[in-house]
Structure 1
């Protein structure tokens, strides 16, 4: 495997049995018929399946027999904007955690020959990678996503990517969103509403390292969205720190209620070491859906 899939495998493992097999996703597939062998015609068979050349050679009417395969379609939708260059609570760069999450879902598709594509970007626009199968394809997607997020990305705006998918992907499929914890506003509400009306959606969010109280000595934090430093805990009054923490709790509660009310299974991941556990728990919610 390539380096990105190898890193994802180190955190997620290789056992993907039972994952993403419940919910409506079990119905969202593309049927392909693969030729198996020939057998004698019996009354009731579809005449369109008669192999006329083989029948002429054998002197008997023969029917083509097919194997029915189910290939699911998954689209990864990722925030590759400036917010993903910040640190997670574990001290890892959020882009690293996000890439490992995306890689984990890529590993899930490998065992079942599912088709997978990706839409990523920032507030400036989107990059669309078409659905395909295979390890090389998935590694290439992860490489391109990672490179974009490290090459002076624009401001994060996951609603931009969601709106693009809602407009350009018309056939139902599983959408896996990987982003930070976005602010709930009308822009996000409209994009999610449009997307969830047609597709099955799951959402994995990478959380930020707290702006205060995250490091010994209360060192100043840096806001990647604005390019400004924020005061460390040592420079703030206790009441300001308390107000900040309450505001963060309200924001996270509002986001949880927003996604829950739209029946979107979701999880928040603080470190790569949590990926296996958190995705498995989210999958349990997903499996009960539909």
Structure 2
């Protein structure tokens, strides 16, 4: 199976690290003392210290009361939420021969976008987790650090996204995350063009109340594109679309207008819930889109 993290590394340039630090700043392990699990040092007891922090053996040796200080655990957790319904297995644009061969699969772009945020987190020493699923069920991988765990997360989402998968259920997946993920995270939602339903706004608001929520939208393949000489396939219906779709200019215009309306509605729904939204055009635009998303979220937190 082709490794996905190297694809992310190849796309990620140095400016990403400079821009993203504004949002990911907040201290890391070994920077501040406080409550944690790793002992930092000992210091003399002062009035007001918690007696539970006393170190009896060291106090007996030194002849004075000493208390333990711990390294505060200030790592972030980046939770990558990727719907793996069959709509995410579709292709986004025709290949160079117009037949669809070599087209960009939405699941590849979704893995790239999720991997960019995940790799930034890994480089900062943060943990990465994954929530994925469709109408048939949902799964959450435990948070852990390191490139190997990020690779496991990306491979899990990528492998689960097939044309035989159940229908996409973004609202159900987000509701599952809201019920099961308690620790505060930087939550990235990578989704296709879904309807901005009231249920979606409700669950996004619930998540924003606990997490830092970012939404990256991935566009659909245009079935009216004349370049699709080999035709297109409706994954939900399991049948090819009629060829006359590519010959109707009015239908093409209406499809483009409908896509714009749906994209705008999703962006407005995210904004209404307090989440940041950015649309990702293609693989070449992925890094810039992620940076815009992180920067928009950083500015939003300051207001």
1:142 matched to 2:148? The reply is: no
Q: Distance in 2 between matches of 1:176 and 1:204?
A: 7
Q: Any conservation in 2 of the 1:20–1:287 contact (CA below 8 Å)?
A: no
- Figure out how many residues of one structure are paired with residues of the other and give that number: 286
Name which of structure 1's ranges 183-192 and 247-256 shifts more when overlaid on structure 2. 183-192
Contact 1:12 1:275 survives alignment (8 Å): no
**What is residue 188 of structure 2 aligned with on the other side?**
176
Q: 1:213 aligns to what SS in structure 2?
A: coil
Alignment CA distance shift 1:116-1:220 (3 Å): same
Give the direction of change, closer, same or farther, for the CA distance of 1:63–1:83 in structure 2 (3 Å limit). Answer: same
Question: Residue 36 of structure 1 aligns with which residue?
Answer: 40
- 2:91 is equivalent to residue 87 of structure 1: yes
Aligned to 1:118: 130
Name the structure 2 match of 1:7: 7
Q: Report if aligned partners of 1:37, 1:66 keep a CA contact under 8 Å in 2.
A: yes
Q: Aligned-pair distance for 1:190?
A: 3.7
Q: Give how far 1:138 is off.
A: 1.6
TM superposition shift of 1:79: 1.0
The secondary structure found in structure 2 opposite 1:131 is strand
Residues 1:234 and 1:254: Cα distance change in structure 2 (over 3 Å): closer
Q: Which structure would you say has the larger RCO, counting Cα contacts within 8 Å and 6 or more residues apart?
A: 1
Counterpart position of 2:231: 220
Closer/same/farther in 2, CA of residues 43 and 235 from structure 1, 3 Å limit: closer
Q: Calculate the aligned-residue CA RMSD, in Å.
A: 2.9
User: What is the SS of the residue equivalent to 2:58?
Assistant: helix
Specify the alignment match of 2:178 in structure 1. 166
Aligned partner of 2:279 among 243, 249, 268? 268
Query: Counterpart of 1:155 in 2: which secondary structure?
Result: coil
Moved over 6 A (4+): none
Deviations 1:56-103 (A, max 9, x none): 123343333333341112221111110111112483111111111111
* More off after superposition, 203-212 vs 218-227: 218-227
1:1-290 alignment runs, 5 A limit: 3-13=3-13, 16-19=17-20, 21-22=22-23, 26=26, 32-42=36-46, 45-89=49-93, 91-150=103-162, 152-213=164-225, 215=227, 219-232=230-243, 236-290=247-301
